A and B are shown apart, each in its own frame.
Chain A
Amino acid sequence: MRRISTVPFKGTKQQEQELSAWFEENRDMPGAALPALEKAQEIYGYLPIEVQEMVAKALDMPLAEVYGISTFYSMFSLYPKGDYQIRVCLGTACYVKGSGDIYENLKTKLGINGGECTPDGKFSLEACRCIGACGLAPVMMINDDVYGRLTVDALDGIIAKYK
């Protein structure tokens, strides 16, 4: 799954300036690579290889090392995300209440696998671990909206809101 994205890189000059400005301020921070990648993902939305190259250059690190870090942590995505990011909680509390079925069902409905994005760029789907709303289990999030006490039947109605 963790390949280099085939989607063409569409970074702007403005984004690049924002990232350079951060480097100006934080270049001497010990252990800067992780915060740098967090910042870069915040600016670009994901970490294409072009952005990782910028980070490697700015911190004077081998690209391999930067790639090693970006593929290690699950929060970093090497793919662009959809306009609406669907995250289904597969934490234990949600799982024992059936979130596995919810996740499988969404894969079929959207025609994509976990970690992927629909071809129109609208929805991306991923599993996540405990968002802490165990009282509402099973739970999913679409961007910042939380949907709790989910059933498979409710999914169509929820997805329709975003179409």
Chain B
Amino acid sequence: MFRSHVMVCGGTGCSSSGSHKLIENFEKEIQAAGLETEVKVVQTGCFGLCELGPIVIIYPEATFYSRVQEGDVKRIVSEHLLKGRPVKELLYDETVAAGLDTIKSLDETTFYKKQVRIALKNCGVINPELIDEYIAYDGYEALGKVLTEMTPEDVIKVILDSGLRGRGGAGFPTGLKWKFAAANAADQKYVCCNADEGDPGAFMDRSVLEGDPHVVLEAMAIAGYAIGASKGYIYVRAEYPIAVKRLEIAIGQAREYGLLGENIFETGFNFDVEIKLGAGAFVCGEETALMTSIEGKRGEPRPRPPFPALKGLWAKPTILNNVETYANIPQIILKGAEWFASMGTEKSKGTKVFALGGKIKNTGLVEIPMGTTLRTIIEEIGGGIPNGKKFKAAQTGGPSGGCIPAEHLDVPIDYDNLTAIGSMMGSGGLIVMDEDNCMVDIAKFFLEFTVEESCGKCSPCRIGTKRLYEMLEKITSGKGTLEDLDKMEELCYHIKANSLCGLGQTAPNPILSTLRYFREEYIAHVVDKTCPAGVCKDLMRYTIDPDKCRGCTACARVCPVKAITGKVKEAHIIDQSKCIKCGACMSTCKFDAISKK
């Protein structure tokens, strides 16, 4: 028995800021202090508050050390672990705020207080590389229950009754998907897991895979039993090396324990899982494209129908769910459909994980009950906008979603509400933007992404998104007209109506939603030829304040196009017709004399 556990985050965010080194250092220092039989160091999955990484949590008190540096380890060991005195100045500010009698624990902080962790239940709690820790937290109990006490019909009924909808984006009822696939007889069926998280700015699935890989394996086996499949594939991005490694370890351990493979729990049920690496193509998040990619081809989507439940992978009945959807399944089986359905809104049950990013204080991963408002997520859990800036928009759904303005901050989040206000749930990326972000530029950013990622199979998407991008480029370079705005809107609706798959059907959303809520910003670009946020380079002017300029000539020397002229010790002038707006002069000036507008 250990009296204390030191949990060090081993997720991608914290690893990037050096948490591996911390683990080594903790082990070394603990040994040096002779505490190795009393204190255990555990490498866990993501705690969620990536902004403060690397994070170290010490149990049983749940004290929260943030941005821990290698040099801090020795003090934490000698003070906290040896003498029982937490090192206050290294703790997360909020837990040691003035006026508190005791140090706040992790769960009492505003970031965690309003969260409900179902999909992320084990993330940051267990060591993801040890199956015994997963089992100690009820792991594989749901699979045992399903195999020994329930019929496949019972399983599907529980999932249907729970109201669980796909967490990958479109929100199709999971139980219904399973029911369709179960109804189609075939000699072979497949269970697939979509871990090809391509939305730029979303990392929910990766955190589950890194923090709790067994939950996905268990849920896939349950799905296999429900639809009558003996084989599963996890399609995961090769860009997620830590997740892939932990999945491989988990699959090996599950096979060794007889929880994957033949005759699981002596019930005659066979199920095994294989990993397939994606090679970086956003369209492969679309279900038919993903299956084509598993077949080893160019990952292009196929027309539906036939739906995968009838003809999916290698033309056999197949179900595909995403990582977060699977992460909910074992607990729904153990705690019942009513428990799950008691959370959330009328049509969206349970919780949703969001990856909070952009202009927000607490960047990281949050899991909240459906129906929570954006305001709660951004202002309370997220800690608001840094540097005293004003909130402008929240972007959900990535390249398929839209920007939500301040007037809709109080809408309870669920699938249907987000669609109604012109965005979508998507996989869960939530990027906050402030007054310094230009909405036309953001729309252009997403269109650039879809132009690059369009697979090219159907022309509305291949050609249409390119034309949209060109129009946006015209507008941001100050050459757009009001007529362009109308033309662009019309083209958006054409692309939505005529594209083959979800990528094209949703690609115009970033434009449509910004046109709807930030039209005046487009008009400023087109009519006034200005960019109110000061982002679009072609619409900006760099000027030198003659009162502040000392005539040091530094800017003239650094200007790559010789647009700046002036005599030594006299005020300089920028020739606007030559200026390429590179900004080199402004970052060189020591007297703050150059401004851009």
Q: Which residues of A contact B (CB under 8 A)?
A: 30-35, 37-38, 65, 68-69, 72-76, 90-97, 100, 108, 128-137, 139, 146, 148, 152-153
Contact = CB atoms under 8 A, between A and B. Distances in A.
B37 interface: no
Nearest to B243: A132
A78 to B, nearest CB: 13
Contact of B297 (A69, A96, A146): A69
Given A92-B395, A92-B445, A134 B296 contact: no
Interface in B14-39: 16-17
Contacts of A148: 16-17
Interface in B87-145: none
A73 to B, nearest CB: 3
Contacts of A95: 200, 445
A31 B295 contact: yes
Interface in B34-56: 49-53
A133 B357 contact: no
Interface stretch (B153-161, B201-209, B302-310, B372-380): B201-209
A69 B282 CA distance: 14
B294 interface: yes
Contact of B299 (A72, A91, A108, A137): A72
B455 interface: yes
A126 B200 CA distance: 15
Contacts of B203: 130, 132, 134
Interface stretch (B250-258, B429-437, B485-493): B429-437
Given A33-B296, A76-B279, A136-B16, A131 B357 contact: no
B12 interface: yes
Given A132-B203, A135-B50, A96 B16 contact: no
A72 to B, nearest CB: 4
Interface size class of B (residues with CB under 8 A): 35 or more
B238 interface: yes
Contacts of A93: 200-201, 357-358, 363, 431
Contacts, number: 131
A134 B357 contact: yes
A10 B277 CA distance: 27
A33 B16 contact: no
The 9 closest A-B pairs by CB, nearest first: A31-B296, A135-B50, A93-B357, A92-B201, A73-B279, A91-B200, A74-B280, A146-B16, A75-B280
Contact of B433 (A73, A96, A130, A139): A96
B353 to A, nearest CB: 14
B201 A91 contact: yes
Contacts of A108: 582
Contacts of A134: 13, 50, 201, 203, 355, 357, 363-364
A90 B453 CA distance: 14
Contacts of B278: 73
Interface string B383-403: 000000000000100100000
8 contacts: A93-B363, A129-B282, A130-B199, A132-B12, A134-B13, A134-B203, A146-B16, A146-B17
Interface string B189-206: 000000000111111001
Given A92-B200, A132-B206, A73 B281 contact: yes
A100 B420 CA distance: 31
B238 A72 contact: no
Contacts of A33: 296-297
A90 B200 CA distance: 8
Nearest to B206: A132
Contact of B279 (A38, A65, A96, A153): A38
A140 B5 CA distance: 33
A129 B452 CA distance: 12
A73 B296 contact: no
Given A68-B298, A97-B358, A132-B12, 10 more contacts: A31-B296, A72-B455, A73-B299, A74-B279, A92-B357, A93-B200, A134-B355, A137-B363, A139-B16, A153-B587
B279 A92 contact: no
A133 B240 CA distance: 11
Max chain B C-beta neighbours (<10 A), residue from A94, A100, A130, A135: A135
A135 B49 CA distance: 8
A35 B12 contact: no
A49 B410 CA distance: 55
Interface in B270-304: 276-282, 293-299
Contacts of B202: 130
Nearest to A134: B357
B198 A135 contact: no
B239 A133 contact: no
